[in-house]
Structure 1
């Protein structure tokens, strides 16, 4: 599209269309608005609203509501009512992790319609892992009766430092992931925009949308695991950093050449091998049963996690820290974190456990797709006031 100026009639049409569409999209499904309602809601003239509605119906985004979708029927000819077609397109949120891939399908309001997940080997190649993604998505679309061509945006969340174009600049958690043009590879499978984000960043977005951080705009989400990562919201906006590497707290121990995670969690004096979730869970179980070496290992793990989180809290001063990831389900994570943050931080934040659990990353990816579609549909409304 060419450059638009303030006096350009095409800009005015876009503004008016965005205003009317927003009013329809936010209306309760049981109270589809009439033309008169839309005039009151938008402040636009009736001829303008009529023209916009006609264009939106031609585009497939709006349709006339049935009698059941409107208010109670009165005597005489009923007023025409209209609704936003949430089924006019669909969104996908995809999580790519070490042990599984998962996908969520939603309508244009972000309402989840279905989900799918498949296990994947920790040692799977990049090609094998991406094939599992395609299998999960194909299964989900087939079961939901949705054509791939109906997708308007796909959000993808993955471990690693992700650049703006969807390239994984550094990804140590998955084989063959560093340097992978993840966005480019997945765009071959979808005929719509594909947005790629770091998994902890996506989870932070999810918790702010419908999790433990819905009432907070300054949030740190900790994806607690063997090498923890974090995502941060500042003023309600995701903070990615200059190159997408903000929140990589798992690398902090390298600054002081401290013990590796394998050494931190060892109960034998030798590095823990293999270093995986099952082994770590076993260490935590032994600690609960009173094993002295396991308890010492858990204390080292907690101290490392607390120090990593405290560094980020001191830098960002968040209102809330949300802890998620597999380690968040282990006993005794939250209380030591609260106590130590109170000790180290000038203004200790609230600490809460994730409400979304293992769905947080895929939910955040879905929100990224929804944000992209909303920006396309409504961006002009936030920058220019609607005019009659």
Structure 2
């Protein structure tokens, strides 16, 4: 018989806890017998693990199943309300905040506008105020926020600092993760907005069943994110997908040209009604968008190209010419789909990023 070494018992307890917690989160509610069958652990071991998880506040005993014959078995469930995560989209003209429980269910959202040319301190204060309002409005104690994740345009390095921003005044060098962590005294992360939007679509949206994905964020500020093998590909410095920074691609110029004589919504509506001038502007915008998108498609050869952001709501009036230009530019154009979440995708992707941290670093999954 092999004797356990000093660290073996601790490791075994950790493994038993992990498999039991995974099973509980997957099943929702389960009895001791069911958990033993799923995990392969003895009833005594499962009961000990549940006692420990209960002391941590991560597991609750559910009311008995009244429909069961005889003495009802004790049932247990994961406490998704043991903690919460916050996803924040710090955009050019708005802040979007989503509060979610540990199952990723969004419980509250907060939106607020911010001036396009607002200085960095003003933009940060708007994000902080909206985050606090979202949490307080939901009746959640601020101390129960386990992680915050923020998305923003530009290149964001692995530490959560904005390495380069060409669109937001004074934004380059802002330690977004460090500052966001002070709002609730918890761990905070930050990432590029298009990357987070791609993450949201792969989690619960249009790209759930795709492995390699290119996501194009179209709206107030254009951007792109890449998933390879279902995982975000940010690159060595966080600049992967930043093809819009190439002047030759023309994304910034095309976006400004589109709204030169009216808002984007007005231009798309006029084009949909058959206005020839609006149709030409939309076609030019779609062509410039396709040039950058096709470069990414040719490099990655993805399963799916997802178009999200505020302009994605234009529908076929934009997607029609975009598909045509992509077909001309790509060797093999992938399927083109619209985002499930529109302009909420960045905040939702930030929720997923925060949950990934909690599951890995707090729950030990």
Does the TM-score normalized on the shorter chain lie above 0.5?
Answer: yes
Task: Encode CA deviations 1:320-366: one digit per residue, 9 max, x unaligned.
Answer: 11101222233522122222222322222000111111111111111
Please say if 1:298 is aligned against 2:282. yes
Alpha-carbon distance in structure 1 between the residues aligned to 2:77 and 2:234: 36
Match of 1:37 in 2: 34
Deviation at 1:316, TM superposition (A): 0.2
Count of matched residue positions in the alignment of Structure 1 and Structure 2? 360
Deviation at 1:159, TM superposition (A): 0.9
Match of 1:244 in 2: 238
Residue 265 of structure 1 aligns to a residue in which SS? helix
Alpha-carbon distance in structure 2 between the residues aligned to 1:298 and 1:237: 32
1:86 corresponds, among 80, 89, 96, to: 80
Question: Residues 3-18 of structure 1: matches in 2 within 5 Å?
Answer: 8-18=8-18
Match of 1:74 in 2: 69
Match of 1:163 in 2: 157
Please say if 1:320 is aligned against 2:304. yes
Match of 2:192 in 1: 198
| Conservation of the 8 A alpha-carbon contact between 1:22 and 1:378 | no
Alpha-carbon distance in structure 1 between the residues aligned to 2:206 and 2:122: 34
Over aligned residues, Cα RMSD in angstroms? 2.5
| Conservation of the 8 A alpha-carbon contact between 1:265 and 1:298 | no
- Structure 2: give runs of 5+ residues left out of the alignment: none
Task: Encode CA deviations 1:152-200: one digit per residue, 9 max, x unaligned.
Answer: 1111111110011110011122221111111111111122211101110
Question: Residues 34-183 of structure 1: matches in 2 within 5 Å?
Answer: 34-67=31-64, 70=65, 72-76=67-71, 78-183=72-177
- Structure 1: give runs of 5+ residues left out of the alignment: 381-388
Alpha-carbon distance in structure 1 between the residues aligned to 2:252 and 2:134: 40
TM-score, length of structure 1 as denominator length: 0.86
TM-score, length of structure 2 as denominator length: 0.91
Task: Encode CA deviations 1:294-319: one digit per residue, 9 max, x unaligned.
Answer: 54443322211111100000000001
Alpha-carbon distance in structure 2 between the residues aligned to 1:39 and 1:377: 24
Alpha-carbon distance in structure 2 between the residues aligned to 1:284 and 1:115: 27
Alpha-carbon distance in structure 1 between the residues aligned to 2:270 and 2:63: 62
Match of 2:22 in 1: 22
Alpha-carbon distance in structure 1 between the residues aligned to 2:90 and 2:251: 28
| Conservation of the 8 A alpha-carbon contact between 2:153 and 2:221 | no
**Residues 33 and 298 of structure 1, relative CA distance in 2, 3 Å threshold:** closer
Q: Which has the larger displacement, 368-377 or 169-178? A: 368-377
Match of 1:360 in 2: 345
Q: Which has the larger displacement, 222-231 or 90-99? A: 222-231
1:373 corresponds, among 336, 358, 361, to: 358
Instruction: Considering Cα pairs closer than 8 Å and 6+ residues apart, tell me whether 1 or 2 has the greater RCO.
Output: 1
Q: Which has the larger displacement, 18-27 or 130-139? A: 130-139
Residue 246 of structure 2 aligns to a residue in which SS? helix
Alpha-carbon distance in structure 2 between the residues aligned to 1:86 and 1:263: 42
| Conservation of the 8 A alpha-carbon contact between 1:227 and 1:250 | no
Residue 332 of structure 1 aligns to a residue in which SS? helix
Match of 1:383 in 2: none
Alpha-carbon distance in structure 1 between the residues aligned to 2:220 and 2:354: 29
| Conservation of the 8 A alpha-carbon contact between 1:207 and 1:355 | yes
1:211 corresponds, among 205, 209, 216, to: 205
